[in-house]
Amino acid sequence: MIYAVVSSFASVFMLAKGYANAQIGMTLAAANILAVVLQPLTANLADRSQKIGAIGISGIMTVMMMVFTLGMFFFGGGSIALCTTFVLLIAWHTALQPMFNALTFKLEESGIPVNFGIARSVGSLAYSILVAILGTLVEHLGIMTLPMTSEITCCMLLISLILTKRIFDKAKAQRLASEDQKTGEERKPVSADQDPEETISLMEFIRRNKLFFVLNIGVVGLFFSNSVLNNYMVQIVTDVGGTSEDMGRILGVMAFLEIPTMVFFSRLKRKFSCQLLLKVAAVGFTAKIGLCWLAGSVGMLYVAQLFQLVSFALFLPGMVYFTGENMSPGEAVRGQALFTTMITITTIFSSLLGGWILDVSGAKTLTLISTLATAAGAVIIFAVVDRIRK
């Protein structure tokens, strides 16, 4: 839900505060670059710290986001201080997401079952509702509803983390007590880093998996349009006569349509190969941005979002399973990391280029270039995905 405020509505807030599109692009790019630095640091700290752990670090980062959000209330429009506030907010939020993924495994280790697909779907549902409401609030009450909403969602997250910590500690204590009772001796700590197959370096991974690396070049093309729509939807909507209220509703529809595909992905995977699902998703990405380019009205933009069912919602879990199925355990870890890195690189590149294109040529040129980039990515996916074998 915090993503809705600090990322999806970043352009809305910064445009209202007097920033140019190119400045917004540089801000978003800088935030993602900082996030790339923060992610391994926070993950390493969570792994090494026995006292704080993933839940504690997530709580600390949430409090820091609440402090950063105060800058949205006090710093003037067009200032470096407000720009820095957004960089820190987006970077901290981006770095926080992998912590929740790690938390999933921590909870399962303590005997607390977690259905990641359902949890992710509920997140999409909450986001879809929030962005739809935010669009209306911003249109009628002004942009200062955004920092207020950010503080409220951060408080909700902090409360949920506190409750999760209590459940986690209780479950962990019960599990350890049960194990000690069975063995009759103290349980020896097992390092989370122990793995039957050691991960390999990035360069060695690329050398062994050249086609998979080429596939990820295709990912850059596909996710270029995805990043453009996430970062610059308000400019695309206003270009066809819409408002921030329309933008919020469109983003809400987009997120809501992710839910059924993600919930039933395991069934789809049993009937169809991951290769086929990735191809369908590549076509879905291209069709969605292509319709956005052709759109002459807000209604057409709504129609374009129907392809979210078979684009992002299909490609994200499909790529995760495809990597796991076609690589050994050590290589799969590196493969997932490469996929995530490519998405981050795409976000940085599309943020910089997108803001500049908007200032120079407008939203139509941006969606046209995005369509061409996505189509090129789809061609690469089709060309190599069937040739990758374990």
Q: What is the pLDDT of residues 217-228, one digit of tens each?
A: 999 999 999 999
**pLDDT attached to residue 193:** 39
**pLDDT attached to residue 323:** 82
Element (H, E) at 42: helix 21-48
**pLDDT attached to residue 101:** 63
**pLDDT attached to residue 180:** 61
Question: Which pTM does this prediction carry?
Answer: 0.75
Q: For the CA atoms of the chain, what is the radius of gyration? A: 22
**pLDDT attached to residue 52:** 66
| 3-state DSSP of 86-139 | HHHHHHHHHHHHHHHHHHHHHHHHCCCCCCHHHHHHHHHHHHHHHHHHHHHHHH
Tokens of 44: 């390493």
**pLDDT attached to residue 304:** 92
Q: How far, in Å, CA of 187 to CA of 179, rounded? A: 7
User: Which residue intervals of 184-243 are DSSP H helices?
Assistant: 202-208, 210-239
Residue range(s) occupied by CATH 1.20.1250.20 in the chain: 1-183, 202-390
Tokens of 266: 């395991």
Comparing C-alpha atoms, which of 337, 356, 347, 225 is closest to residue 290?
A: 225
**pLDDT attached to residue 245:** 86
**pLDDT attached to residue 195:** 44
Collapsing DSSP to helix, strand or coil, 201 comes out as coil
- Our measurement of the distance from residue 136's CA atom to the centroid of its chain's CA atoms, rounded to an integer in Å, reads 24
Q: How far, in Å, CA of 373 to CA of 380, rounded? A: 11
Q: How far, in Å, CA of 52 to CA of 111, rounded? A: 20
Domain at 1-183, CATH homologous superfamily: MFS general substrate transporter like domains (1.20.1250.20)
Average pLDDT, the chain: 82
Q: How far, in Å, CA of 295 to CA of 363, rounded? A: 11
**pLDDT attached to residue 176:** 65
Comparing C-alpha atoms, which of 329, 354, 124, 381 is closest to residue 227?
A: 354
Tell whether domain 202-390 is in CATH 3.30.300.30: no
pLDDT in tens, 305-344: 999 988 988 898 888 888 878 877 667 767 777 887 788 8
Residues of the chain with confidence (pLDDT) below 70:
43-52, 98, 101-102, 104-106, 108-110, 114-117, 175-202, 329-330, 333, 390
